[in-house]
Chains A and B, each alone.
Chain A
Amino acid sequence: MTERGIDGTTLLAWRNLAHDRARFAATIVGVVFAVMLMGVQLGLLVGFTRTTSGLVDNTDAPLWITPAGTTNLDIAGRLELRRRYEALGVPGVERVDPLMMQFGFWTRPDGGSESVGLVGFDPVGGQGAPWRLVEGRPADLERDDAVVIDRLYARKLGVARIGDTVEINRRRARVVGFTQGIRTFTQSPYVFMHHRHAQRLAGFPVTQTTYLLVHTRPGADAETVRAALERRLGAVDVWHARDLARQAQTYWMITTGAGSALLLAAALGLIVGIVIVGQTLYATTMDRLPEYATLRAIGAPTGYLNRVILKQAAISAAIGYAGGMLAVLIVVALSSRTNVAVAMPPWLAAVLAALTVLMCAFGAIVSVRRLMRIDPTAVFQ
């Protein structure tokens, strides 16, 4: 910047900030704090949102048949299994797999109890099978009392290793495997098992299930098949998988208000950041008002002065974002070992960067407005 020639506004912006290191440090700490608060809250929102639709997202059936009035995946009604055969008769349907989901009570070896989500799948189709199995084999779930849980919830459920026995709904169950990283929004851990095992534990007759997952034939139009299923079956809901996932996310994050709290905290971070950046930029501007008046007197257009302020805001945003993002990524890494996931996909990092720039730009508004009114004759005072 100094050897090959300078951009005046960038140089002034940087030197104005760097000259008062204590104030600059306070600004950066404020931006880092705001970015961290926004990042963690939005990361929690995305992480939780993903957990609400985990069952749908980790199956590859394009269509789901659910009991009529289903609002989310965790609270399910009942479907007659004969509907499976009705569905198989619809043109374009290739395969239909049952999937059970019911809440149950898990009794730990020490006698305590926890609420769990019983996920029963048909090993033939494999839809709804544990998708991140790190210990044990899928074939082990053929046993009548076999279950697989996630390592994240092992301590909560009072088990440590394969072979541990517990009770679910007062029936004995044996842990035959562990997954890693399958979280639930309700904090009732998923317990994976054979479909017939889940029927038995949930008190369902062998003729009932909760969901039917439909695979379409190659080349079949999913929407055409969905509409045909809805007409043929009646009294059920037939969803595209993506729509059911969105419905589950909307139910838990919006209808229950859970997402609002996270968004509110993120908004608070944004406001805190605007106030901190606004205050420190304004204080810097007021300190340097004679210099801005000099610039104005020698002919600088107001746009030039505003660029100095906005570049100060941009520098604060860039450094604060880098620091804040580093802190968020540390939180993301730490959360990967807990049952609360903080997600930071690239698109969210980009959104956070945009929010940081927006925050600093808003913080600069007061200073910009002050400079719009600057009197060049102040140089003579």
Chain B
Amino acid sequence: MGCLLRPGGGEVALFGHSLAGLDAEALARLRLRHVGFVFQHYNLFPTLRAWENVAIALDLKGVPRARRRAEAERLLDRLGLADRRDHFPAELSGGQKQRVAIARALAGAPELLLADEPTAALDGRTGQEVAAVLHELAHREGCAVVVVSHDPRMERFGDRILHLEDGRLIDDRRPSAPDPGASIAHDRDP
């Protein structure tokens, strides 16, 4: 789904594009155009400030140079990081790093946001905050958010929960009323 691998069998189509037969560059273009990624270990660029990490993604997406900083700061502000824009990743807490990573993933307004174990490297409270952020994004931004997680606490944030075990789908349910809890605008990290 993330267009990082080609299907070994069957057919996978994303936003009307079959992944079969696409070369590495075409897959990269598809990712760039449609998908935002949030990784377990944030994967921020350690030599870049928070806003620069987001601006790199905007650069890739072709946002004009003059607008990149303002747009990056807008995304960081929305994620409650207005006072952390100029910090380097090493100067941020785990939760703040993950929110910078989410801001980067949202750069260019992707239609799909894929989060790989977004709370695995975070403590319980911070993990809840990040999960709430993702939930709110899905509802406010009209962006489909797909989270892969082993953290059962994530379940209460999901609109649809698919349970995989040993590569097989064993459960598919839609909770009637997800409870996102925290607001994305609050920053309780130190």
A: residues with CB less than 8 A from B are: 2-9, 11-12, 15-16, 18-19, 290-291, 294-302, 304, 376-377, 379-380
Q: Report the nearest B residue to A372, measured CB to CB.
A: B24
With a CB–CB cut-off of 8 A, which chain B residues contact A3? Answer: 69
Inter-chain contact B39/A11, CB cutoff 8 Å: no
Inter-chain contact B31/A11, CB cutoff 8 Å: no
Inter-chain contact A377/B60, CB cutoff 8 Å: no
Inter-chain contact B4/A8, CB cutoff 8 Å: no
Number of interface residues of B (CB under 8 A): 37
Q: Report the nearest A residue to B49, measured CB to CB.
A: A2
With a CB–CB cut-off of 8 A, which chain B residues contact A294? Answer: 39, 43, 45
Inter-chain contact B4/A376, CB cutoff 8 Å: yes
| CA–CA, A297 and B45, complex, Å | 13
With a CB–CB cut-off of 8 A, which chain B residues contact A8? Answer: 55-56, 59-60
Inter-chain contact A379/B59, CB cutoff 8 Å: no
- B95-111 contacts to A, CB under 8 A, are 104-105
With a CB–CB cut-off of 8 A, which chain B residues contact A304? Answer: 60
Inter-chain contact A376/B28, CB cutoff 8 Å: yes
| CA–CA, A297 and B43, complex, Å | 11
With a CB–CB cut-off of 8 A, which chain B residues contact A380? Answer: 39-40, 116
Inter-chain contact A5/B68, CB cutoff 8 Å: yes
* Closest beta carbon of chain B to A292's beta carbon, Å: 10
Inter-chain contact B56/A301, CB cutoff 8 Å: no
Q: Does B115 contact A (CB under 8 A)?
A: no
With a CB–CB cut-off of 8 A, which chain B residues contact A302? Answer: 24-25, 28
Q: Does B67 contact A (CB under 8 A)?
A: yes
Most chain B beta-carbon neighbours within 10 Å: one of A4, A15, A298, A300: A298
Inter-chain contact A379/B43, CB cutoff 8 Å: yes
* Closest beta carbon of chain A to B160's beta carbon, Å: 23
| CA–CA, A377 and B39, complex, Å | 11
Inter-chain contact B31/A297, CB cutoff 8 Å: yes
Decide if the interface of chain A is mainly helix, strand, loop or mixed.
Answer: helix
Inter-chain contact B45/A12, CB cutoff 8 Å: yes
Supply 6 further A-B pairs (C-beta < 8 A) apart from A16-B47, A291-B43, A298-B105: A294-B39, A297-B39, A297-B43, A298-B36, A298-B37, A302-B24
With a CB–CB cut-off of 8 A, which chain B residues contact A300? Answer: 28, 32, 60
Inter-chain contact A5/B69, CB cutoff 8 Å: yes
| CA–CA, A302 and B60, complex, Å | 12
Inter-chain contact A5/B47, CB cutoff 8 Å: no
Q: List 30 A-B contacts (CB under 8 A).
A: A5-B55, A5-B64, A5-B68, A6-B52, A6-B55, A6-B68, A6-B69, A7-B59, A8-B60, A12-B47, A15-B45, A18-B47, A290-B43, A291-B45, A294-B39, A297-B37, A298-B36, A299-B30, A299-B33, A299-B60, A300-B60, A301-B25, A301-B28, A302-B28, A376-B4, A377-B5, A379-B39, A379-B43, A380-B39, A380-B116
With a CB–CB cut-off of 8 A, which chain A residues contact B47? Answer: 12, 15-16, 18-19
With a CB–CB cut-off of 8 A, which chain A residues contact B116? Answer: 380
Inter-chain contact A4/B65, CB cutoff 8 Å: yes
| CA–CA, A237 and B33, complex, Å | 74
| CA–CA, A5 and B47, complex, Å | 17
| CA–CA, A290 and B40, complex, Å | 13
Inter-chain contact B52/A298, CB cutoff 8 Å: no
Inter-chain contact B37/A12, CB cutoff 8 Å: no
